[in-house]
C-alpha cells in the first residue's frame, strides 16, 4: 500500500501545480488548455500501446467522444477561471465535481444518497457562498472566475461519469487517457485559434512551462492517481480530492503570493468538509 499511497499524494501534488503553470504561461487560457493536451498526447499513445493492449469496444466510441467533449469543457473553463479568480477558489470550486456526480446518479439513475451526502452538500454550498462573498469584495472578475469554476465542475462531473462507464466496460486507463486527450486537443484547437489570445509561446521558458503543464500535471499527475486508486481502497480517493486544492492554495501562496483572507480560509475549510462528507455519503 505504501507505494500506491505515495503515488496518490505525488499525483495530487503534480495536478495541484497545474494552476501555477497556467498563470506562468505566456499564452492565453484557451491556448494553454490546448497545449496541455496536445503536448501530452504524443507521450500517452506509446505508453497506451505498451504490453498487450486491446482496442476499446466499438460501442464505447460515443462515450469516448462524450468524455473528450466533457474534458475539453472542463479544461477550457477551468483555465479561464484560473485567470479571473484566485487559484484556491478556482481549484476548490472545480472539485465540486464529485458532488455533481452523486447528484446526477441520484437524478438519472435513482441511486438515492444517504443523509451524510445531503449534510455534505449543504456544507459545501455554504462554503461556496463564503468564497463567492470574498470574491465579490475583491473584484467583479473574481466573481466571474468563481462562476467559471462551478461550470468546470459540471463538465468534470460529466467526464467522470463517462470514464466510469467506459472503465466498467473494460477500457484501460492509459487507452482512455490517450484517446480522450487527443479528442480534447482537437476540440480545443479551433477554440484557441478563434479566441484571438496569444497562441504560441514567445520564449523557450514559455514552451518549458507548457511542457511542464502537459507532462508533469497532466501525464504524471493523472497517471499516478489512476495507478494509486487501482491499488487502494475507494475511500482513499477522498484523500486525493481534498489534498489537491490544499496543495494548490499552498503553491499559490508560496509561488504567486496569493494569501488567503480569513473568510476565504473559513469558506475553503467548509467546502473541503462538505466534499469529504458528500464523498463518504456516496460510498
CA 235/CA 36 separation, integer angstroms: 29
Whether residue 137 has pLDDT greater than 70: no
Q: What are the distances in angstroms from CA 79 to CA 15, 100, 116, 143, 211?
A: 13, 20, 32, 15, 16
Average pLDDT, the chain: 83
pLDDT tens, 173-203? 788 889 999 999 999 999 999 988 999 999 9
Contact 274, 121 (CB under 8 A): yes
pTM of the model: 0.86
Contact 78, 16 (CB under 8 A): no
| Phi/psi of residue 259, nearest 5 degrees | -75, 145
Q: Where are the domains of the chain?
A: 2-282
Residue with the larger pLDDT of the pair 230 and 158: 158
Nearest by Cα to 160 from 214, 220, 95, 213: 95
CA 23/CA 27 separation, integer angstroms: 9
Contacts of 233 (CB under 8 A, 6+ apart): none
Whether residue 117 has pLDDT greater than 80: no
All three cell numbers of 238: 477522498
Q: Where are the alpha helices (DSSP H) in 169-261?
A: 173-194, 204-212, 222-229, 236-256
Amino acid at each position: 500500500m505504501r507505494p500506491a499511497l505515495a503515488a496518490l499524494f505525488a499525483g495530487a501534488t503534480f495536478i495541484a501545480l497545474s494552476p501555477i503553470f497556467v498563470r506562468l504561461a505566456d499564452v492565453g487560457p484557451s491556448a494553454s488548455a490546448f497545449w496541455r493536451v496536445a503536448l501530452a498526447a504524443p507521450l500517452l499513445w506509446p505508453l497506451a500501446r505498451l504490453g498487450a493492449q486491446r482496442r476499446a469496444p466499438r460501442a464505447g466510441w460515443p462515450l469516448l467522444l462524450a468524455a473528450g467533449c466533457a474534458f475539453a469543457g472542463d479544461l477550457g473553463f477551468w483555465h479561464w477561471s484560473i485567470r479571473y479568480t484566485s487559484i484556491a477558489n478556482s481549484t476548490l470550486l472545480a472539485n465540486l465535481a464529485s458532488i455533481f456526480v452523486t447528484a446526477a446518479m441520484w437524478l438519472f439513475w435513482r441511486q438515492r444518497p444517504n443523509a451524510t451526502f445531503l449534510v455534505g452538500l449543504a456544507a459545501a454550498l455554504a462554503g461556496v457562498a463564503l468564497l463567492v462573498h470574498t470574491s465579490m469584495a475583491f473584484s467583479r472578475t473574481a466573481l466571474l472566475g468563481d462562476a467559471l469554476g462551478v461550470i468546470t465542475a459540471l463538465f468534470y462531473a460529466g467526464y467522470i461519469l463517462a470514464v466510469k462507464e467506459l472503465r466498467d466496460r473494460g477500457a484501460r486507463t492509459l487507452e482512455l487517457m490517450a484517446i480522450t486527450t487527443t479528442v480534447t486537443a482537437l476540440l480545443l484547437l479551433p477554440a484557441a485559434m478563434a479566441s484571438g489570445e496569444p497562441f504560441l509561446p514567445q520564449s523557450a521558458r514559455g514552451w518549458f512551462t507548457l511542457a511542464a503543464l502537459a507532462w508533469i500535471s497532466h501525464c504524471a499527475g493523472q497517471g499516478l492517481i489512476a495507478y494509486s486508486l487501482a491499488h487502494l481502497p475507494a475511500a482513499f480517493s477522498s484523500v486525493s480530492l481534498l489534498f489537491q486544492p490544499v496543495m494548490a492554495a499552498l503553491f499559490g501562496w508560496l509561488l504567486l503570493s496569493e494569501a488567503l483572507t480569513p473568510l476565504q480560509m473559513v469558506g475553503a475549510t467548509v467546502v473541503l468538509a462538505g466534499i469529504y462528507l458528500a464523498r463518504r455519503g456516496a460510498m
